[in-house]
Amino acid sequence: MSDERQIARIRVEALEPSYATAAGVWAERLGLPLQGEADFALQLGAAGLQLAELGPQAPGPVRVDFIEGAVAHRRLFGGGSGQMIAKAVGVQPGVRPRVLDATAGLGRDAFVLASLGCETTLIERQPLIAALLEDGLIRAAGDAEVGPIVAQMRLLVGNAIELLRGWEGEAPQVIYLDPMFPHRDKSALVKKEMRLFRPLVGDDLDAPALLEAALALASHRVVVKRPRKAPIIAGPKPSYALDGKSSRYDIYPLKKLQASKP
């Protein structure tokens, strides 16, 4: 990961006085100040937790929302089990694999898989992004439609390589990886998120080690999402790939996924 993230100054803010106590709890949990000069602010208000870049030319804040917006549109109109990500992880009639998303980010891909019936574990190592994800999951849990979906999502915070190597209990059938890469997607949303997150996260320079750990743990397959023209991650070559307009999924099959017995 890039060392650029080390110079980012971050504070926690309550957007309204009534959220001051809860903001203080987040500040203590994350080891961040509640005041002082900063480049970014983790803000708490009526809409939940959000991360904002500070300054006159800054883009709008980013938060996790599983109930409304782009994620809801994708859940309702995204193509269901016909989506490429569903095919990549092996969703098919009678097959809903247990998936570990080891690079969870804002949780969109994991939410899609959970909405299709996959039990999904998420790992996020950047504490601020994990905080946004935790807040989004808590808010969604109370929604009548989305609550049952996020009930299938479990969040772990920490270094994915270490967590995979020290995994205890039943292994995930599929491990899904989407390492940070210099994205060229021109949408305003992606630009905003990349601008916010890259100083905090950097690029995933340890992706080869993450792939190695995933291949050692997954029982059935590993799936790596990449920009369509990006090189494969260093290490074993994928058996095949599914190509989309801007992304592709490199597939590393280990064992055939079978339909659950009734």
Burial class (CB in 10 A: 0-12, 13-18, 19+), 183: middle
Tokens at 192, concatenated: 């905003």
Judge contact between 222 and 241, C-beta under 8 A: no
Q: Annotation-wise, does 4 bind a ligand?
A: no
Q: Annotation-wise, does 221 bind a ligand?
A: no
The two beta strands, 174-177 and 153-157, are: unpaired
Cα Rg, the chain, nearest whole Å:
18
Q: Annotation-wise, does 125 bind a ligand?
A: yes
Q: Annotation-wise, does 178 bind a ligand?
A: yes
Q: Is 36 left (phi over 0), alpha (psi -120 to 50) or beta?
A: left
User: First CA to last CA across the chain, in angstroms?
Assistant: 45
Question: What is the helix (H) or strand (E) element at residue 165, kind and residue range?
Answer: helix 160-165
Tokens at 239, concatenated: 């058996």
Q: Annotation-wise, does 13 bind a ligand?
A: no
Judge contact between 159 and 84, C-beta under 8 A: no
Partner residues linked to 49 by β-bridges: 44
For the annotated binding site, the residues are 108-109, 124-125, 178
Binding residues for S-adenosyl-L-methionine, by number, are 108-109, 124-125, 178
